[in-house]
Structure 1
Amino acid sequence: MATAERHAGNLYIRTEVFQAKCLVEGLKRLGVGRFSVYGISYGGIVAYHMAEMNPLEIDKVVIVSSAIGYTEEQKERQLTRIGRRISGFLVPESPQDLRFLVSLSMYRNDFLKWVPDFFFRQFINAMYKTHRKERLEMIEHLLTKDADPNVPILTQETLIIWGDQDKVFPLEFAHQLHRHLGSKSKLVILKNTGHAVNMESPCELNILIKTFVFRHSYHMLEV
C-alpha cells in the first residue's frame, strides 16, 4: 500500500496541473503580478492550465503545437500513426531514437543525414541522462490519463500557432482547439513548418508572439 501511494504521488507531481500550480506560485513569490504566458507542445498544455486556473493573473495566452481537448479516438489514432513506443524516443537512449524524434518533429529534416552519431550521443548525455525516471513518469501520465475533449474555455485572448506539416499533432488539433475557444482566439498556420515551430520558423514565431502579447500587455512567461 505504501509503495502504491508513493507511486501515485510521483505521478501526481508529474501532471501538467501540478506543474502549472507550481509555476504560478513561484511567480507570485517572485513578486510577478499580471503576465502573459506562451508554451509549445507539452509546455502549451501547462500554459493552458495556468491560464484556466488563474484568469485574473494571466493576461494573454499563446499556444503552439499543443494537443488540448482531444478525444480518445484521436489519441489512439495518432499513437498508431506514429507507430513506435512513445517513451522510447521522447526520452531517447540512442542516436537512432533521437534521429526519429527530430525527423518526426521537423518538416525540413534533410540535415539529419549529415549529423554523425557521436553528436547525438553527446546531446543525449547532456539533455536526457538526468531526471530520466521523472521524464518517463511524466510521459506515462500523459499516455494513461483519459482524454478530455471538454476542457474549460479560456477567458483570455488566445493566439494558436501551428505548423502546416506537423506530424506529431496534425492540423485537425489546431482547428479543433480554435473552434473550442471561439471568438477570443486566433489561429495562425505557418507554411512548410513541422511540430518544432520554434526551430523551423523562429523569426515568424517571435514576430507573431511579440505583436500579439506586447500590445498594451504585461510580463510574458515562456513555459
Structure 2
Amino acid sequence: MTHQLTTEGKYTYLEVGKGTPLLVLHGLMGGLSNFDSVTEHFSQKGYKVIVPILPLYTKSLLKTNVKAFSKYVYEFIQFKKLDQVILLGNSLGGHIGLYLTKLHPECVKALIITGSSGLYESAMGSGYTKRGDYEVIKKKAQDVFYDPAIATKEIVDEVYETVNDRNKLIKTLAIAKSAIRHNMAKELPKMTTETCIIWGENDIVTPPEVAEEFHSLLPNSELFWIDKCGHAAMMEHPEEFNQILDSWLTKHKL
C-alpha cells in the first residue's frame, strides 16, 4: 500500500476514507506501514482513518515525553476539527492515547490499545550497549514478534539506523524513561471511556499480565487475545486483529 501523505502546517499525516474518525497512533519504532491492514480495512467500512506522524525525534529533549506527544495529538485533533474520535494506539501510541483520553475524555469516543505501555514495558529503549552490532539489533527487532520473519530487513535497517543516530538514541531513551515515569495505574480506574484491549499472547515487550492489569483497572474495557502473536498484533495477525476490532466497534455501535 502506497501512502499519500498530507502536510499541513506542522502536521504530516495519512488520511484515507470517509466517516467516523479513527485516529491511529504509532509506536516508538513503528512506522505508518505497521497499520496498512487497519487503514485499508476500516477506510472501506465507514471510517476516516487518520495516521499522524508523531514528532518523536524532532521536538526538544524537554518536550520528548508522553505528555508533550499527547498535547501534540490533541492539537492535531483541534486543527483537523475532528469531533469524538476513536483512538487506536500500539505500544507508545497506546500510552499517548491513554494519556490524551485522561486529559480530554470529551473528545475521545472510544479507545483501542494493543501492546500499550503505560503500566510496564521491557523497553525498546534499553540494552543498546552493542548498538553497532547489526546482528544484536536484528535479534532485538525479531524479539518484538512471535514470528521473527515479520522483522523484515527494512524494519531491522530502520531500527539499526535509529539507534546508531546519536540524537535519535538520546530521544529514544528519553521516551522510554518518560513511559516509565508516566505510569497510569492510579488514573485508569477513573477513566470510563469504552476501551478495547487487543493483545498478543506471546508479547515479551508488554507481557500478557500487563493486558490483564489494564483490563482490571479500566472500568469499561474488554480484553481480546491473539495466539502466536507478539507486540504488534495488527502486523502479525492483521485479519484476526481487524475482525476483533470490527466486531467490537459494531457491538458498541461505534
Taking structure 2 as the reference length, the TM-score comes to 0.64
Q: Are residue 203 (structure 1) and residue 239 (structure 2) matched?
A: yes
Partner of 2:171: 134
Q: Tell me how far 1:203 sits from its aligned partner.
A: 1.2
Q: Does the aligned pair in 1 maintain the 2:125–2:176 contact within 8 Å?
A: no
Paired position in structure 2 for 1:4: none
> Quick check: 1:19 aligned with 2:69?
yes
Aligned amino acid, residue 60 of structure 1: A
RMSD over aligned Cα, in angstroms? Answer: 3.4
Question: Counterpart of 1:189 in 2: which secondary structure?
Answer: strand
Q: Which residues in structure 2 correspond to 1:143-162 (within 5 Å)?
A: 143=180, 145=181, 147=183, 149-153=185-189, 154-162=191-199
The alpha carbon displacement at 1:163 in A equals 0.7
Give the distance between the partners of 1:87 and 1:178, measured in 2 at CA. Answer: 29
Q: Which residue of 2 aligns with 1:42?
A: 92
Structure 2: runs of 5 or more not aligned: 1-58
- TM-superposition CA deviations, 1:59-97 (whole Å, max 9, x none): 000010113335xxxx7xx57xxxx971529xx554224
Largest Rg, 1 or 2: 1
Q: Could you say what secondary structure the match of 2:101 adopts?
A: helix
* TM-fit CA distance, 1:57: 0.8
Give the match for residue 193 of structure 1.
229
Structure 1 unaligned regions, length at least 5: 1-8, 218-223
User: Which secondary structure does the structure 1 equivalent of 2:143 belong to?
Assistant: helix
Question: Amino acid of the residue matched to residue 95 of structure 2?
Answer: I
Structure 1 residues 62-141: aligned runs within 5 Å: 62-70=112-120, 86=126, 88=128, 93-109=132-148, 120-121=156-157, 124-125=160-161, 129=165, 131-141=168-178
Letter in 1 for 2:91: S
Distance, in Å, in 1 between the alignment partners of 2:108 and 2:72 is 15
CA offsets 1:23-64 (integer angstroms, 9 cap, x no match): 011111121111110001111000101111111110000010
Greater strand fraction, Structure 1 or Structure 2: 2
Distance 1:199 1:211, change over 3 A: same
- The answer on whether the counterparts of 1:161 and 1:189 sit within 8 Å (CA) in structure 2 is yes
Percent identical among aligned pairs is 19
Change (3 A) 1:12 1:152: farther
More off after superposition, 154-163 vs 133-142: 133-142
Preserved CA contact (<8 Å) 1:36 1:213: no
Q: Find 1:59's aligned residue among 106, 109, 116.
A: 109
Q: Which moved more, 1:43-52 or 1:132-141?
A: 132-141
SS in 2 for 1:62: strand
Letter in 1 for 2:211: A
- Superposed CA offset, 1:111-130 (max 9, x none): 77xx77x9844774489747
What letter matches 1:193 in structure 2? C
Greater relative CO (CA pairs within 8 A, separation 6+): 1
Aligned-partner SS, 1:155: coil
